Structure 1
Amino acid sequence: MHPTTVIRQLEADDLTAAGELGRLAFGGGPPTAPPPRDPPPGRTGYGAFDPDGRFVGKAVDLHHEQWWAGRRVPAADVAGVAVLPEARGRGVALALLRELLRGARERGAAISALYPTVTGPYRRAGWEVTGALRAVDLPTVALPRHRPASGLTVRPGGPADLDAATDLYERIARHRCGLLTRRGGAFHRDGAPTALPDGVDGLTLVEQDGRLVGYASWQRGRGYDRRAVLTVEEVLATTPEAARELVGVLASWQSVTPTVRLWPLGSDAIAAELPLEQAREHEQRIWMHRPVDVVRAVRGRGWPAHVRGRVDFALTDEIAPWNTGAWRLEVDGGDAELHRITDEPAARLSVRGFALLYTGAADGYAVAEAGLLHCPAGTDPGALDLLGAGPRAELLDYF
Structure 2
Amino acid sequence: MPATVLVRELTADDLDAAWDLGRFAFGSDSQRPPQASVEAPGRTRYGAFDDTGRLVGKAVDLHHDQWWSGRAVPAADVAGVAVAPEARGRGVARAMLTALLRGAHERGAAISALYPTVAAPYRACGWETAGVLRTVNLATAALPRHRPAARLAVRAGTPADLPAVAALYERVTRHRNGMLTRRGELFDAPDRGLPGDGLTLVEDDGDLVGYATWRRGLGYGADSVLTVDEALAVTAEAARELVGVLGSWASVAPTLRLCPLDGDAVSAHLPLESAREHERDLWMHRPVDVAHAVGARGWPAHVRGAVDFHLTDPLAEWNTGTWRLAVADGAAELTRVSGEADLRLEVRGFALLYAGAAHARSVAQAGLLHHSPDVDPAALDLLGAGGPAHLLDYF
Q: Which bin holds the TM-score, normalised by the shorter protein? A: over 0.9
1:240 aligns with 2:236: yes
Opposite residue 175 of structure 1, the aligned amino acid is H
> C-alpha distance in 1, partners of 2:218/2:37?
37
> C-alpha distance in 2, partners of 1:335/1:118?
35
3-state SS of 1:102 partner: helix
> C-alpha distance in 2, partners of 1:363/1:36?
42
Query: 1:166-187 CA distances to partner (integer Å, 9 max, x unpaired)?
Result: 1100111100000001011211
Residue 194 (structure 2) aligns with? 196
> C-alpha distance in 2, partners of 1:167/1:314?
40
> C-alpha distance in 1, partners of 2:21/2:264?
40
Opposite residue 215 of structure 2, the aligned amino acid is Q
Residue 360 (structure 1) aligns with? 356
Q: Tell me if structure 1 keeps the 8 A contact 2:41–2:185.
A: yes
1:134 aligns with 2:134: yes
Residue 2 of structure 1: how far off its partner (Å): 5.3
1:211 aligns with 2:199: no
1:369 aligns with 2:365: yes
> C-alpha distance in 2, partners of 1:58/1:73?
25
Residue 177 (structure 1) aligns with? 177
> C-alpha distance in 2, partners of 1:2/1:277?
48
The two structures have a TM-score, normalised by structure 1, of 0.97
> C-alpha distance in 1, partners of 2:35/2:206?
44
Residue 343 of structure 1: how far off its partner (Å): 2.3
3-state SS of 1:48 partner: strand
3-state SS of 1:31 partner: coil
Residue 8 (structure 1) aligns with? 8
Residue 256 (structure 1) aligns with? 252
Residue 337 (structure 1) aligns with? 333
Query: 1:200-222 CA distances to partner (integer Å, 9 max, x unpaired)?
Result: 11111000111100000011111
Residue 168 (structure 2) aligns with? 168
Q: Tell me if structure 1 keeps the 8 A contact 2:3–2:92.
A: no
| 1:374-385 pair list within 5 angstroms | 374-385=370-381
Q: Tell me if structure 1 keeps the 8 A contact 2:325–2:332.
A: yes
Q: 1:15 to 1:75 in 2, by over 3 A?
A: same
Q: 1:390 to 1:2 in 2, by over 3 A?
A: closer
Residue 34 of structure 1: how far off its partner (Å): 4.2
Match of 1:291 among 287, 293, 297: 287
1:49 aligns with 2:45: no
Structure 2, unmatched stretches of 5+, are none
3-state SS of 1:103 partner: helix
Opposite residue 318 of structure 1, the aligned amino acid is P
> C-alpha distance in 2, partners of 1:107/1:75?
10
3-state SS of 1:164 partner: helix
Query: 1:100-126 CA distances to partner (integer Å, 9 max, x unpaired)?
Result: 000000000000000000001000000
Residue 118 (structure 1) aligns with? 118
Residue 32 of structure 1: how far off its partner (Å): 3.6
> C-alpha distance in 1, partners of 2:206/2:34?
44
Match of 2:263 among 236, 244, 267: 267
Residue 268 of structure 1: how far off its partner (Å): 0.8
3-state SS of 1:302 partner: coil
> C-alpha distance in 1, partners of 2:185/2:350?
27
Opposite residue 285 of structure 1, the aligned amino acid is D
Q: Tell me if structure 2 keeps the 8 A contact 1:214–1:242.
A: yes
Q: How many matched pairs?
A: 395
Compute the RMSD of aligned alpha carbons.
1.1
